[in-house]
Amino acid sequence: MTGATTPDLAPPGSATLAAVDGWASDYVTIDGTERRLVEAALRCVTRWGIRKTSLDDIAREAAVSRATVYRMFPGGKDRLVEAVFCHEAGRLFHEIDADLANAATLEELLVSGITAMLRVVDDHAVVSSLIRHEPDLVLPHFAFHQLGRVLDLAEGLCRPHLERFLPPADVRPAAELLARVVLTFGFRPAAWVDPHDPDSIRRLVSTYLLPAITPSTDTHVLETT
Amino acid sequence: MSAAAAASPATGTTHRRIVDAAYACMARDGIAEVTLEDVARQAGLARATIYRAFPGGRDELVAAVVAAAVAEFFAGLQADIGEVADVTSLLERGLVAARRRLDEHAVLQRTLQAEADQIVPQLATVMPVIVELLAAELASRLARERLRPGVEVGEAADLLARLALSFIGTPGAWDMDDPAAVRRLVRGQLLAGVLDEGR
């Protein structure tokens, strides 16, 4: 593999890799082989980036046949990027699941969730280096019609948590709004939304987001329109 | 369509002619396929003239074409919306009109299908400027509205600009063809935390 020397990408054996311990199977259903493949793919992409990772590399890393990889990713590397990001989103939600489940209020839930997701972009070696080094391969997944799939994923990940506070019908719009907020400030940070300053996230949530996603707002709108 | 129609007048007619020609080539052959030779032929100019106008070569030219097309898109959008004083109408009319313009933008739609890897990063590059311009438009309206306690005009305008662009690009669960849905989105979500409606 000629790309093994790419210096700016996270080296193999980084903390990020060690953290890849499992798939959040509660959220995205995936069978044993696909999971093994996605985890192998993540290791390859961490070492070499997306462009220099071939499906053959992944087959070798996962110790499965090429045919298996091609059967699993008939869309080729496009589907691969998506799988890696879904995997990481699922894993992250799995990791912070206890925090989210213990949130006593909707405000607390949103502050925890948004803070954790925004920190990923800063701290997560794979995610942030992919966004920085291979924007042409990454950004299309987060814009226009392809973003629709990300919003669907966000709904699936957020639903069990939001349902504790919101009527089922309000979950989808709330999850969408939250995903859009995380993506815009994740990709293009703003000084007033700083994931390392809890007060700024609390302010974003309580001032701007809570009124937008709490049910009372809908009633109010219906009354005044 | 003249991609350079909305470009800065200071760029001059040669710049404009080259950008228009490059837009025509990109619309016809795709962004990845365009060469400066093609553009020179299309513009009826020497290749050296193009290099003089765009010392950064092909990359600079592609960026200029995208910037000009985006500027034209928003100039057209502004014309669609007309004069709007209040932030609620601006967002409601803006979302509907922008969505329609995007759907009807055949070149963009084709490019998104065939060359998302080329066009999306280009658009992402100009996005901060678009957010800033849109936020300024929104801020001037917000300054005249009664805001909820704690709301700061600059923050609200930044958030609204970002979210409006997100909903324009990807409506998600919202039906932008349904005026009632757009009203719910704008009044019930986007502005719910911003405007003080006497609650």
pLDDT reported for residue A24:
36
The mean pLDDT value for B94-102 works out to 97
CB contact under 8 A, A221 and B173: no
Residue A143 has pLDDT above 50, yes or no: yes
Residue of chain B whose Cα is closest to the Cα of A205: B193
Q: What pLDDT, in 10s, does the model give residues A56-107?
A: 999 999 999 988 888 887 777 777 777 778 888 888 888 899 999 999 999 9
Cβ distance A225 to B181 under 8 Å?
no
Q: A3: which DSSP letter?
A: G
Counting residues of chain A whose pLDDT is more than 90, the rounded percentage is 46
pLDDT reported for residue A72:
80
CB contact under 8 A, A172 and B169: no
CB contact under 8 A, A143 and B155: no
The mean pLDDT value for B67-82 works out to 96
User: End-to-end distance of chain A based on CA atoms, in angstroms?
Assistant: 62
Residue A8 has pLDDT above 60, yes or no: no
Q: What pLDDT, in 10s, does the model give residues B121-154?
A: 999 999 999 999 999 999 999 999 999 999 999 9
Residue A4 has pLDDT above 90, yes or no: no
Q: Where in chain B is the domain with CATH 1.10.10.60?
A: 9-73
Of A144-148, B11-15, B85-89, B195-199, the one with minimum mean pLDDT is: B195-199
Q: Choose among A135, A147, A212: nearest Cβ to B170.
A: A147
Residue B113 token pair: 């299908």
Residue B9 has pLDDT above 60, yes or no: no
The mean pLDDT value for B20-40 works out to 96
| C-alpha distance from A19 to closest chain B C-alpha (Å) | 30
Cβ distance A179 to B173 under 8 Å?
no
Residue of chain B whose Cα is closest to the Cα of A216: B188
Contacts of B173 in chain A (CB under 8 A): 151, 172-173, 176
Q: What pLDDT, in 10s, does the model give residues A147-165?
A: 998 999 899 999 999 999 9
pLDDT reported for residue A31:
64
Cβ distance B184 to A214 under 8 Å?
no
pLDDT reported for residue A124:
77
CB contact under 8 A, B197 and A183: no
| C-alpha distance from B59 to closest chain A C-alpha (Å) | 14
Helix boundaries (H) for chain B: 12-29, 36-43, 47-53, 57-81, 87-104, 106-114, 116-142, 153-169, 179-183
Name which of B122, B170, B178, B185 to mutate to probe chain A: the one with the most chain A Cβ atoms within 10 A of its Cβ. B170
Q: Choose among A139, A207, A221: nearest Cβ to B121.
A: A139
More confident residue, A101 or A125: A101
Q: How far is CA B151 from CA A157, A206, B94, B145, in A?
A: 30, 10, 22, 11
pLDDT reported for residue B29:
96
Contacts of B92 in chain A (CB under 8 A): none
Q: What pLDDT, in 10s, does the model give residues A24-45?
A: 333 344 567 777 888 898 899 8
Contacts of B172 in chain A (CB under 8 A): 147-148, 151, 176
Residue B6 has pLDDT above 50, yes or no: no
The mean pLDDT value for B151-165 works out to 98
CB contact under 8 A, B158 and A192: yes
Measured over the CA atoms of residue B186, residue B189, residue B194 and residue B199, the dihedral's sign is positive
> How many C-beta neighbours within 10 Å does residue A71 have?
12
The mean pLDDT value for B158-167 works out to 98
Counting residues of chain B whose pLDDT is more than 70, the rounded percentage is 93
Domain B9-73 has CATH 1.10.10.60: yes
Residues of chain A in Cβ contact (below 8 Å) with chain B: 135-137, 139-140, 143-148, 151, 172-173, 176-177, 180-181, 183-185, 187-188, 190, 192, 203-204, 207-213, 217-218, 220-221, 224-225
Q: What ipTM describes this predicted complex?
A: 0.91
Residue of chain B whose Cα is closest to the Cα of A215: B188
- With a threshold of 0.80, does the pTM exceed it? yes
More confident residue, B178 or A130: B178
Confidence of residue B93 (pLDDT cuts 50, 70, 90): very high
Q: What is the mean pLDDT of chain B?
A: 93
The residue length of chain B stands at 199
CA A59: distance to chain centroid? 24
More confident residue, B53 or B6: B53
Residue A110 has pLDDT above 60, yes or no: yes
Return d(Cα A36, Cα A63) in angstroms, integer: 9
